[in-house]
């Protein structure tokens, strides 16, 4: 499937470009973990040229992803609607890029926004995915999934987030 999350610079000078397409699933590798799409995310956006010679993009991304619960390690599915709001500015050094501002490539007629969209999706993912707010996690002694069974260990489960904090304090 061709990735058509592109903006043609010769067209945008005339009028705003409005597009919607799916983000190619094969390109969905993210830093710090893997993100599995249940189906390719749908992206809709409107791009307009701005007074500064750049491009203003706004739109929305609908993603249905499969995550792994950090507490019980079970896989679960969740959906996210991520707002897209960013600018592409000409003459911007790559290291001057900031939240919502990206460099407009100096040459070529076509700008592919798929990498930016993937980055925005990555940022929208929870740092601590939980299958549900009251997930009981795994028993720290015997490893049984406490959402599905009880065990005889009788220990009260420590919250792994407090565990991390405790380590930081030592």
Give the nearest distance from C-beta 78 to Zn ion in angstroms. Answer: 12
Q: What is the dihedral of CA 116, 121, 124, 125, to 10 degrees?
A: -140
User: Tokens in use for 117?
Assistant: 């969209």
Q: Of the ranges 11-19, 102-110, 117-125, 145-153, which one interacts with Zn ion (CB under 5 A)?
A: 145-153
Q: Answer for the pair 65, 37: CB distance below 8 angstroms, yes or no.
A: yes
Rounded CA separation 119/43 (Å): 13
Rounded CA separation 2/6 (Å): 11
Q: What is the dihedral of CA 63, 69, 75, 80, to 10 degrees?
A: -10
Residue 153 engages Zn ion in binding (rule: CB under 5 A): yes
Give the nearest distance from C-beta 107 to Zn ion in angstroms. Answer: 48
Q: Of the ranges 13-21, 57-65, 144-152, 157-165, which one interacts with Zn ion (CB under 5 A)?
A: 144-152
Residue 142 engages Zn ion in binding (rule: CB under 5 A): yes
102-131 binders of Zn ion (CB under 5 A)? 131
Residue 71 engages Zn ion in binding (rule: CB under 5 A): yes
Q: Of the ranges 20-28, 38-46, 119-127, 146-154, which one interacts with Zn ion (CB under 5 A)?
A: 146-154
Rounded CA separation 146/139 (Å): 6
Q: Of the ranges 18-26, 85-93, 101-109, 140-148, which one interacts with Zn ion (CB under 5 A)?
A: 140-148
Read off φ and ψ for residue 65, nearest 5 degrees.
Answer: -120, 160
Q: Which member of 69, 84, 88, 138 binds Zn ion (CB under 5 A)?
A: 69
Q: Answer for the pair 45, 59: CB distance below 8 angstroms, yes or no.
A: yes
Binding site for Zn ion (CB under 5 A): 69, 71-72, 131, 135, 139, 141-142, 151, 153
């Amino acid at each position: 499937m061709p990735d058509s999350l592109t903006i043609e610079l010769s067209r945008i000078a005339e009028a705003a470009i409005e597009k919607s397409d799916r983000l190619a699933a094969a390109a969905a590798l993210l830093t710090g973990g893997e993100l599995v799409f249940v189906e390719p995310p749908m992206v809709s956006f409107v791009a307009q040229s701005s007074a500064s010679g750049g491009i203003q993009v706004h739109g929305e991304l609908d993603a249905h992803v499969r995550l792994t619960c950090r507490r019980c390690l079970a896989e679960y599915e969740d959906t996210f609607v991520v707002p897209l709001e960013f600018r592409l500015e000409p003459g911007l050094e790559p290291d001057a890029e900031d939240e919502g501002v990206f460099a407009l490539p100096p040459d070529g007629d076509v700008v592919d926004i798929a990498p930016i969209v993937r980055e925005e999706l990555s940022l929208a993912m929870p740092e601590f995915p939980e299958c549900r707010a009251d997930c009981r996690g795994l028993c720290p002694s015997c490893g049984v999934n406490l959402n599905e069974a009880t065990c005889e260990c009788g220990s009260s489960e420590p919250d792994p987030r407090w565990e991390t904090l405790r380590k930081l304090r030592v």
